[in-house]
Amino acid sequence: MNALRRNVLKGAAGAGTVAVAVAAGLLKPTQALAAWNKAAFEAKNVGDAMKGMGVSAPADSKDISIKAPDIAENGAVVPVEVTSGIAGTTSIAILAEKNATPLIGDFKLTGGTEGFISTRIKMGQTALVRAVVTAGGKSYTAAKEVKVTIGGCGG
Amino acid sequence: MAEPMRIRATMAGDVADVKVLMNHPMETGQRKDAKTGQLVPAHFIQEVTATINGKEVLSANLGSGVSKNPYLGFKVKGAKAGDKVVVNWVDNTGDKNSAEAAIG
């Protein structure tokens, strides 16, 4: 009992050790789900996240509209709605640019689903919320700034 | 995960408006427990799929940046009242849940 407690304390002293342990613990279940795009979701910046999704240099588009509050009082719950007016939209990805891991979700739309996704996201700080839309093999993007007064990532 | 998932699907013209509310803590793995100071392990939904009458209409990969008790709304053209919507999710621990509803 005491030895265990000591180990736990030791772990806490070296925060890095804990992080590594958590990461190691995470690896197994993640690998079991092959379809989950680990590279993109664990990317620490927008460029790497897009690379992970196989998106490069998306074109700015006025046909994508992002509905989100200008100021979010609670970063833990920020309602975001993305509507793509681009014909043949097959996927919509949502990113919060300054989150520790910017990619929030990647939604593949098939069989008559319209270019629309509504969800609620966490934001660590004021940042651009970016939507990346894929239509006909091409990528398009749009962004909207959301000011966050209380972050939602640290708890 | 015994907590149920709620689905509401309604027709608006020829488009089905589907709203899903999942019960899940969506831990990022970056938050510290206030009492112990230890990091709370990541625990979040990674994959969500939705079908209407057995035909896939949405397949999503989610990250830990989705809010607790995730809400998801989408619109499907060509669906009819009475069609069966089924939503499944799988989280990073391999836990899964499924729910179904008829479009009303």
- Tell me, yes or no, whether A12 and A62 share the same domain: no
Tokens representing A96 are 């919060």
- Tell me, yes or no, whether A65 and A136 share the same domain: yes
Residue A81 φ/ψ, nearest 5 degrees = -125, 125
The minimum CA-CA distance between A59 and chain B, rounded to whole Å, is 23
- Tell me, yes or no, whether A97 and A139 share the same domain: yes
For residues A28-40, give the mean pLDDT.
Answer: 62
Domain count of chain A? 2
Distance CA A63, CA A9 (A): 53
Residue of B nearest to A120 (CA): B67
- Tell me, yes or no, whether A26 and A89 share the same domain: no
The reply to whether A113 falls in a domain is yes
Distance CA A59, CA A70 (A): 24
Residue of A nearest to B42 (CA): A26
Give the structural domain span for A58: 38-148
- From chain A residues 7-46, the ones with a CB under 8 A of any chain B CB are 8, 12, 18-19, 22, 25-26, 29-30, 32-33, 35-37, 40-41
A103 to B93: CB separation less than 8 angstroms, yes or no? no
pLDDT: is A3 or B61 the higher one? B61
Residue A106 has pLDDT above 60, yes or no: yes
**pLDDT given at position A21:** 42
- Tell me, yes or no, whether A25 and A66 share the same domain: no
CB of B100 closer than 8 Å to CB of B8:
no
For residues A30-43, give the mean pLDDT.
Answer: 72
- Domains of chain B in sequence order: 6-31+40-102 (2.60.40.10)
The reply to whether A154 falls in a domain is no
**pLDDT given at position A19:** 44
The minimum CA-CA distance between A38 and chain B, rounded to whole Å, is 9
Tokens representing A72 are 């979010």
pLDDT tens digits for range A119-155: 999 999 999 999 999 999 899 999 999 999 876 665 4
- Chain A residues near residue B74 by CB distance under 8 angstroms: 107, 109, 113-114, 116-118
Q: Which amino acid, A150?
A: I
Distance CA A96, CA A85 (A): 21
Beta-ladder partners of A65: A83
> How far from chain centre, in Å, is Cα A134?
16
pLDDT tens digits for range B43-88: 999 999 999 999 999 999 999 999 999 999 999 999 999 999 999 9
